Amino acid sequence: VCIILGGSGSGKTTLLNAIARRMNDLEVCTSGSIKCNGTNDKKFWNDASVGYLQQDDFLMPFLTVRETLNYAAHLRLPRTMSSQKKCELVELVLLELGLKECANTRVGKPSGGEGAGSAIPGISGGERRRVSVGIQLLTNPMMLLCDEVTSGLDAFSSYEVIKSLTKLAKSTQKTIVISIHQPRSEIFKLLSESDGQMVLLSKGDVIYSGPVRSALPWVESTGVGGCSTGVNPFDYLLDLSMVDFASEDIAKSTAVRRHLLVQAWAQREKGSGLDTSTGDTSILTRIGNVSLEQTGGASSLVSSAVSVSLEGSGTSLWSQVRVLTSRGWTNQIRDSMVLWGCICECIVIGLAIGSIFYDLDDSLGGIRSRSSLAYAVGAIQSYLMLMILIHRLSKEIAVYDRERMDHWYGPLPHLISTCLYSTPLNVLYPIVFSAIVYYMTGLRTDSAQHFGWWLLMNLAMQFITLSFAMLCSSLVRGFSSASLLGNAIFIFFDLSTGFFIVNDSIPSWLRWIKYLAYPHACYSILTINEFTDNRFDCPYARLNGSWDSNMCAPWDGNLILKNQLDIDSHYFQGPIIQMACCFIGFLFVAWLALTINVVNPTSMGTGRTTIDMFLNQAAAIFLHNKPATPSEPELSSIASSGVGLDNEKARSGETQKIEKQLLKDVDLVFPTGELTAIIGGSGAGKTSLLNTLLGRTPPNLKMTGSIYYNGTKNPSLRMINGVSSYVRQDDHFLLSHLTVRETLQFAAELRMESSVSKADKYAKVEDIIDLIGLRECANVIVGNSAVKGCSGGQRRRVSIGIQLVTEPACLILDEPTSGLDALTAKAVVLTLKRIAASGRTVVCTIHQPRADIWQLFDNVVLLVTGGRVAYSGRVDKVVEYFADAGYVVPMFTNVPDFILDTASVNLRSIELEEETRKTVNALVDRFNTNKHEILASLLSKGSLGELAEVNPQFASFSKAFPILTRRSFVNTFRQKSLYFNRIFQPVIMAIIITIFFAPLGNGPSDVISRFGVLQETSPIVFVGMLNNVAIYPFEASRDIAFREISDGGYSVTSFFFSFLVNEVPLEIIGSLGVTVFMLVITHMKVTVVTFFSFWVVMFGYISAGESIGITFSTFTTNAGFNITVMSSLLSIFAFMTGIVSVNMPQWLNDINYISLFKYGSAIITMNEFDGKLFDCSKDDITSGACPYQTGESVLELFNFQEKNWSLYMSLFVIAVVVYRLLAWLVLVAKAKSNRW
């Protein structure tokens, strides 16, 4: 085992990525060589001999813990191993990692980021980390790389994990490399005794590389001093490797010390080559240099050779397909919201289309509606399913990327299994849709084969749409980019159907697209099926009932196919072959894309593909990104009395619901002016306790008992926000493209009082930057898992710094030192100690406090399994308390590590579990017996007064609005591809439409083409909606705003209007581009009135799409469900414009009054056809090729001839405003419900 130590930003993750050969970021230049067993043969890295536990967990959210490990075992363990043996191995891993109690609980997913999306309830963050460890243990690699393997774990679990890895390395002769932040002292002893190795990094430089037991002698030989007795050696070494910015003098002296150590190690290597004076270096020796360069600086890292054996085997192709199919089906079927959303979409859309085209008659309008219906099935329904499938696959492909990087399987089993596990639902959806639509609309029933063809085409369209969605998600990552690509290509397919534009009118150089356009093939077969040899009731039939071939031509199905639709009757073979080729072709291109481009989902790689890079470069042409430049609150104390918390909806992977008690009989006091630590194992209820104290428990939790602030019983959330600040456990809620300094400056402007000058606020920010050690990364963007920026530990400190700007009366922190190096962690706790000493109440949860940090706490609360309290009182009394209970702390043992070990349930065997449960229960009973006496000593003797009703941290609209507007603009503007997508997605759609239609003539076929241009304006609303879904929940700061609003920072209205101001200019530019292309370049009627009214309508469409996106994305955070519902509703109303659906039932016409399309389509249609004359010859009129000779006849067909243009324009503008007001009302309602 080799551990990599170093402070935040020292290069630990970068070194692991380099060793794993995952430095695929185009902005990073790599030089040097990495050798294994003396060779740099790529085969070692390509045959799954290297496993990589990444810093982020990419797991299937709806699988249970046991299922996740079982599937991993069946995917990676040798095929010669029996299934029973694999399951037994999984059970051993569950016991070894302490996952027995949550084995049947689904994994879930934390919120944040585009790849993350909405949160899915499941196991805790620490438990998810252990699941990822378990997966890598089961994959049986010869070299295992682990990035922050103990992050989020308590001290007991961390030690057991390292001990398990050490045992595994010895027993299997594997090489295991681990980066770690705060290893406990027992780990130093363990690795020293087991010949463990260590690399100590500092800002990308190596300070030491060699055996763990030789590290201290080497450091002492440099003259910097020795490690004191009783000090954790790892903490000592970490302190030496970092620069302490506590003061200018200390910073200079520690910088000199660091430089001395770096130079000493470099001179040692130059002078003695492969020196072995410090001990055995057979496992870890320096044989090459790896350097990585990036704009703004360079660093060099030392790589090492490892002794491993190149052996191992995996499963066969079909075994992989079988396992992946089972896993995908299980995960898919449990996503009940999306599953039922899709079923409801088919039912609702089917009923809507059936109602719009209900019982079609044989009039010209009814005949036209039949072709409209065929188009709806071939284009609209498949488009809706395309967006739903792209969203689902964009989420799932992150797991594939991780497993592909680990060489579990290739693209072929991934694509085959995706098709297989999607098959049952892809059969169900079209059956439901087909049966509803066919019989409601009254299509021909003279033969059963007609319904058979109808059903077959719907099934084929569903599977081809799936393959096309797989292609889009394979070419680019992320729903935003994949939906943009899918939208652009689908528009070509849609326009090639021949419904809105006769094939002969399509430019010759574009006609080949129809052979790739599967909606065209579907449209052709459905119209052939309906019109071939079908004569409708002609009103001009002779008295004897015979057919008048001249007068009745518009009612002859064969002539309709030939003259109006340009389709050959009876020709089924060609479209069928075309659809089969599309399905196979899309899958082939998807396989090719996945084979050529292997995407790294880790934080080092941006997760972007080649197409994403192209979009960034294209956007850079248009946008230039400038580099970033750099009263006393009332005192409070908190007490809880008999608090209990029950989760009524804690779900396992099974179908039944269970009830779980998260906190039980919790009686605690948190005194004013003191720093209190809450410790306990993962899942003990630490975060639940903090959320309860702050009044932020989810609605599905039931709480009993009372909470007192300064004697105020159960204060309101507004009162609590007025005296408290909360630093949460995760750092997903930071704007990724703001620098550290900017993030803190905006926080200071928002949170500090208006009476404080801007200069003083910024000065306070600079003090905080120095205080929490962020000076070196002050001008670096914050970043996230998909955007390279600060390290995880640095982001953690930024979250803390945001809350420090106001120094609240009560400061509550959830894991403030998680992911921080030892020196920074101590600096943070020292800061909290100073804040508490100023008369404030500071409470924090903490996992693995080192000895010098432990001494800084005044009080400690020990939570154990079941959310029970095993101790609460003074820190200096803990050792005596446990000794009286019979548990004496050994010498040279970290006290918090000892009490956590003592109060933890060991699940690694039945005997150990029974023994440790008795110990834990005895500790809980002992505390409950004496708790009233202990807690009474912590209560304040004097009165602290009542809480204020007004929140002093609340920013008024006049203060918050300009700050939020600037913050959002800076963050969004720096994302070139994001700006490019938002502005040019509607313009690209308009360009594609223009290519097909421009220039419009004045002949009979151009009447239909004008129908097409007008109808194709409605998808612009989809663009606004999809832009919002891709941006608003993530980069537009929805979740960040939710958190800040729940903290009492500002009002919903402030956020709403700041978002609006940043959004509207992009909508204006985008709608102007649409107007220029779709109105001017297509040669439609252009006057001042028609131009500006068309522009207003396009702007209204995009704005309404954004409004609908805000409404649904606020109401529910499940993006898949939102896309399903929104796309369905918009499609229904888009079909009710009056252009496609000529004759609708009256009740649908009444509903249509709430639709924006009703008014917008009427305005642009009246603009285009008013006073229009078409060039129709007598032969055209006689043959039925020109049924409309004047614009008035067209308006009469659509029932627009008597519409009041001015009234409709007024109603349109009102509707746009009402849609946006509805979004605001939903935001307000969400804020009042406190459900985020």
Q: Which tens digit of pLDDT belongs to each residue from 1020-1032?
A: 887 888 777 766 6
Provide the pLDDT for residue 428: 92
More confident residue, 265 or 228: 265
Q: What is the pLDDT of residue 892?
A: 63
Amino acid at 899: I
Instruction: Reply yes or no on whether the pLDDT at 317 is more than 50.
Output: yes
CATH number of the domain where residue 797 is located:
3.40.50.300
Classify residue 398: in a domain, yes or no.
Answer: yes
Residue 183 has pLDDT above 90, yes or no: no
Residue 278 pLDDT grade (very low, low, confident, very high; cuts 50, 70, 90): very low
Domain that holds residue 481: 331-522+571-600
Residue type, 1151: I
Mean pLDDT of 542-556: 74
Q: Which two tokens stand for residue 1081?
A: 């370049």
pLDDT-based confidence at residue 44 (cuts at 50, 70, 90): low
- Listed in sequence order, the residues at least 6 apart from 859 whose beta carbon sits closer than 8 Å to its beta carbon are 670, 671, 674, 675, 676, 677, 872, 873, 874, 875, 938
pLDDT of residue 323: 92
Neighbours of 657 (CB within 10 A): 10
Please classify residue 462 by burial: count the beta carbons closer than 10 Å to its beta carbon, then call 0-12 exposed, 13-18 middle and 19+ buried.
buried
Task: Answer yes or no: are the C-beta atoms of 143 and 50 closer than 8 Å.
Answer: yes
The tokens for 897 are 């590590």
Residues found in the chain:
1236
- pLDDT value for 740: 92
Q: Which residue has the higher pLDDT, 427 or 1130?
A: 427
The H or E element containing residue 32 is strand 29-32
Q: What is the pLDDT of residues 1037-1074, one digit of tens each?
A: 677 888 788 777 888 899 999 989 988 998 999 999 99
Q: Which residue has the higher pLDDT, 428 or 629?
A: 428
CA–CA separation, 75 and 315 (whole Å): 6
Which contacts qualify for 293-300: CB closer than 8 Å, 24 or more apart? 293/28, 293/29, 293/31, 294/27, 294/28, 294/29, 295/27, 299/11, 299/203, 299/204, 299/205, 300/204, 300/205
Between residues 1234 and 1029, which one has the greater pLDDT? 1029
Give the DSSP per-residue string, 428-493. Answer: HHHHHHHHHHHHHHT---SSHHHHHHHHHHHHHHHHHHHHHHHHHHHHS-SHHHHHHHHHHHHHHH
Average pLDDT over residues 750-771: 87
The two structure tokens encoding residue 462: 């569903």
What does the pLDDT look like over 379-416, one tens digit per residue? 778 888 888 888 888 888 888 888 887 778 889 999 99
Asked if residue 497 has pLDDT above 80, the reply is no
What tokens were used for 233? 């050696």
Average pLDDT score over residue span 475-484: 78
pLDDT over 90 percentage in the chain: 14
Same domain, 594 and 686: no
Residue 743: what pLDDT? 92
Residue 1089 has pLDDT above 60, yes or no: yes
Of the candidates 118, 91, 86, 120, which has an alpha carbon nearest to the alpha carbon of residue 103? 91
Helices first, then strands: H and E counts in the chain: 44, 19
Sign of CA dihedral 1139, 1143, 1148, 1150: positive
Query: Which pLDDT belongs to residue 153?
Result: 66
In this predicted structure, what is the pLDDT of residue 1109? 85
What's residue 416's pLDDT?
95
Largest CA-CA distance found in the chain, in angstroms, rounded:
118
Contact of 1024 with 1067, CB cutoff 8 Å: yes
Structure-block tokens of residue 1069: 């530019």
Beta-carbon-side half-sphere exposure of residue 224 (alpha carbons within 13 Å):
25
Identify the band that residue 1234 occupies on the pLDDT scale cut at 50, 70 and 90. Answer: low
Distances (CA, A) of 1194 to 1002, 1089, 1165, 1187, 1199: 14, 21, 9, 9, 9
Statement: residue 798 has pLDDT above 90: no
Q: Residue 591 above 90 pLDDT? A: yes
**DSSP-derived secondary structure letter, 819:** T
Residue 177 DSSP SS3: strand
Question: What are the tokens at 871?
Answer: 């101790």
pLDDT of residue 1031: 67
Has residue 12 been placed in a domain? no
Cβ atoms of 159 and 186 within 8 Å: the answer is yes
Same domain, yes or no, for 983 and 1068? yes
In this prediction, residue 741 carries a pLDDT of 93
Identify whether 306 is part of a domain. Answer: no
Predicted confidence band of residue 763 (pLDDT cuts 50, 70, 90)? very high
**Average pLDDT in the 500-516 region?**
73
Residues 728, 862, single domain; the answer is: yes
Q: Within 13 Å of residue 900, how many CA atoms lie on the same side as its CB?
A: 27
- 1044 within some domain: yes
pLDDT digits (tens, 9 = 90+) for 854-892: 889 999 999 988 889 999 988 988 899 999 988 888 876
**DSSP reduced 3-state for 1031:** helix
CA atoms within 13 A on the CB side of 780: 20
| Cβ partners under 8 Å of residue 300, min gap 6 | 204, 205, 289, 290, 291, 292
- pLDDT at 945 exceeding the cut of 90: no
Which range scores top for mean pLDDT: 120-124, 888-892, 1155-1159? 1155-1159
User: What is the per-residue pLDDT across 971-986, written as a single tens digit (0 to 9) for each?
Assistant: 888 877 777 777 888 8
Q: Which pLDDT does position 296 carry in this prediction? A: 35
> Rounded mean pLDDT of the chain?
78
For residues 1003 and 1055, state if they share a domain. yes
916 and 960 assigned to the same domain: no
Nearest 5°: phi and psi at 763? Answer: -65, -40
Both 892 and 801 in one domain: the answer is yes
Report, in this order, helix, strand and coil percent for the chain, each rounded to 5: 55, 10, 35
> 710's torsion region: left (phi>0), alpha (psi -120 to 50) or beta?
left
- Residue 1142's pLDDT is 59
Please, what's the b/e burial string for 1007-1021 (b: 16 or more CB within 10 A of its CB; e: otherwise)? bbbbbbbbbbbbbbb
Please name which of 938, 935, 945, 936 lies closest in space to residue 723, comparing C-alpha atoms: 945
More confident residue, 520 or 294: 520
pLDDT average, residue stretch 1147-1174: 85
The pLDDT of residue 1098 is 93
Q: How many structural domains is the chain composed of?
A: 3
Q: What are phi and psi of 12, to 5 degrees?
A: -65, -50
Are 335 and 477 contained in the same domain? Answer: yes
* Angstrom distance (rounded) from CA 64 to CA 192: 37
Q: Exposure of 1030 by Cβ count < 10 A (0-12 exposed, 13-18 middle, 19+ buried)?
A: buried
Q: Are 498 and 584 members of one domain?
A: yes
Q: Does the CA dihedral 216-221-223-228 come out positive or negative? A: positive
> Which two tokens mark 702?
């039931």
Residues 6+ apart with CB under 8 A from 311: 142
Indicate the pLDDT class of residue 293, thresholds 50, 70 and 90.
very low
pTM score of the predicted model:
0.68
For 703, the token pair is 């709480």
pLDDT of residue 739: 93
Range of lowest pLDDT (180-189, 282-291, 525-534): 282-291
Which pLDDT score is estimated for 242? 81
- Region 239-243: what's the mean pLDDT? 82
Give residue 580's pLDDT band: very low, low, confident or very high (50, 70, 90).
very high
pLDDT range class, residue 1140, cuts 50, 70, 90: low
Q: Is residue 663 part of a domain?
A: yes
3 state DSSP class of 238:
helix
**Token output for 834:** 């100073």
What does the buried/exposed string (b/e) look like for 171-198 if buried means 16 or more CB atoms within 10 Å of the residue's CB? eeebbbbbbbbbbbbbbbebbbeebbbb
Report residue 626 as tokens: 């400038």
pLDDT for 941 equals 53
Question: Residues 833, 877: one domain?
Answer: yes
Q: Are residues 931 and 959 in the same domain?
A: no
To which residue do tokens 């990035």 refer?
147
Banded pLDDT at 300 (limits 50, 70, 90): very low
Q: At 644, is the pLDDT very low, low, confident or very high (cuts 50, 70, 90)? A: low
Dist. CA 631–CA 763, nearest whole Å: 17
What's the confidence (pLDDT) of residue 587?
95
The reply to whether 301 falls in a domain is no
**What is the chain's alpha carbon radius of gyration, rounded to the nearest angstrom?**
33
In a domain, residue 281? The reply is no
Tens digits of residue pLDDT in 69-111: 999 888 888 778 888 888 888 888 887 777 887 888 888 876 5
| Closest among 778, 979, 1035, 788 to 27, alpha carbons compared | 788
292 to each of 12, 34, 536, how far by Cα in Å? 13, 13, 74
CA dist 745 and 758 (Å) reads 9
Q: Do residue 841 and residue 930 come from a single domain?
A: yes
Residue 492 CA to residue 1100 CA, distance in Å, equals 24
CA dihedral 68, 70, 73, 74 (to 10 degrees): -110
Distance CA 112, CA 33 (A): 36
Q: CA–CA distance from 580 to each of 418, 1036, 1219 (Å)?
A: 18, 41, 42
Q: How far apart are CA 481 and CA 459, in angstroms?
A: 27
What proportion of the chain, given as a percentage, has pLDDT over 70? 81
- 764 & 853 share domain: yes
Q: 652 forms bridges with which residues in the sheet?
A: 105
Q: What is the pLDDT of residues 319-352, one digit of tens each?
A: 899 999 999 999 999 888 788 888 888 888 888 8
Quick check: is 409 in a domain? yes
